[in-house]
């Protein structure tokens, strides 16, 4: 557990040295071990992966595996647990929905999808325009930076009825919670599975889980990587 917390603090920039340097302390010996003796894990897959270079192939270097691991940890950890927090905040704030999900775990999936629409943890992204174009009557030159608000698109009233309401019974439609096109989140299926497992486990292990009435209600804050400040709860 202490190692996991150290890695998380490094990814959040709480150390003077870079996150890569901290991760290397943990991953370098694991990479060396998996090269010598592969196991059923992602590091082993990366150690055995090959790239086509010219007319030949080559394996990923240790530095490339370390960099890829950093990407996975940074992109797929904080965003997932923050989206999990958003989903739990929405359910705990609506006890009737939480009870419905507790009684029927098949509702966990639509609850997660609705949270991705209702309040994605990353509602804003910046993109470079690949060519001269026009958007909403505004001319955008090639190379310009465009700030896209996916969160606003997910609440477009022309697509979603009563868009500001968290509604797990809503007719399923694709949203931009994980982006779209060539930039769609590669880890979206893992994130969904992690959130589903976490919510199912919490409801199964903590009977009568509910917000602590003696504490301030959770608030979902900031623009990039949104999430609740804290979710004080009681159970039993």
Please write the tens of the pLDDT for every residue from 149-173: 999 999 999 999 999 999 999 998 9
Token pair, residue 23, equals: 């991760």
How does pLDDT run across 15-50, given as a tens digit for each residue?
A: 555 777 878 888 899 999 999 999 999 899 999 988
**Residue closest to 175 by CA, chosen among 159, 186, 187:** 159
CA distances from 141 to 18, 138, 148, 180 (A): 36, 10, 16, 22
Sole residue written with tokens 């001319």: 139
The CA distance from 178 to 53, in Å, is: 32
The β-bridge partners of 52 are 57
Q: What angle do CA 11, 13, 195 make, to 5 degrees?
A: 35
Domains of the chain plus CATH, in order, are 2-68 (no CATH), 78-234 (1.10.630.10)
Nearest partner of 164 among 156, 176, 175, 173, judged by Cα: 156
pTM: 0.76
């Amino acid at each position: 557990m202490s190692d996991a917390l150290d890695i998380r603090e490094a990814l959040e920039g709480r150390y003077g040295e870079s996150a890569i340097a901290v991760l290397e302390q943990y991953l370098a010996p694991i990479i060396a071990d998996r090269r010598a003796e592969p196991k059923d894990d992602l590091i082993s897959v990366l150690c055995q992966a090959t790239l086509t270079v010219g007319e030949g192939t080559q394996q990923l270097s240790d530095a490339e595996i370390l960099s890829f691991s950093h990407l996975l940890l940074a992109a797929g950890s904080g965003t997932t647990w923050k989206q999990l927090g958003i989903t739990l905040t929405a359910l705990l704030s609506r006890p009737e929905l939480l009870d419905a999900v507790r009684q029927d775990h098949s509702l966990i999936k639509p609850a997660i999808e609705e949270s991705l629409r209702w309040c994605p943890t990353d509602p804003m992204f910046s993109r470079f325009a690949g060519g001269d174009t026009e958007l909403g009557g505004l001319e955008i030159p090639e190379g310009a930076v465009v700030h896209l608000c996916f969160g606003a698109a997910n609440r477009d009233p022309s697509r979603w009825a009563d868009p500001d309401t968290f509604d797990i019974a809503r007719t399923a439609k694709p949203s931009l919670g994980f982006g779209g096109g060539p930039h769609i989140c590669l880890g979206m299926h893992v994130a969904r599975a992690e959130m589903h497992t976490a919510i199912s486990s919490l409801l199964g292990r903590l009977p009568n889980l509910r917000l602590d009435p003696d504490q301030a209600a959770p608030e979902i804050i900031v623009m990039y990587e949104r999430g609740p400040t804290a979710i004080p709860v009681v159970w039993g």
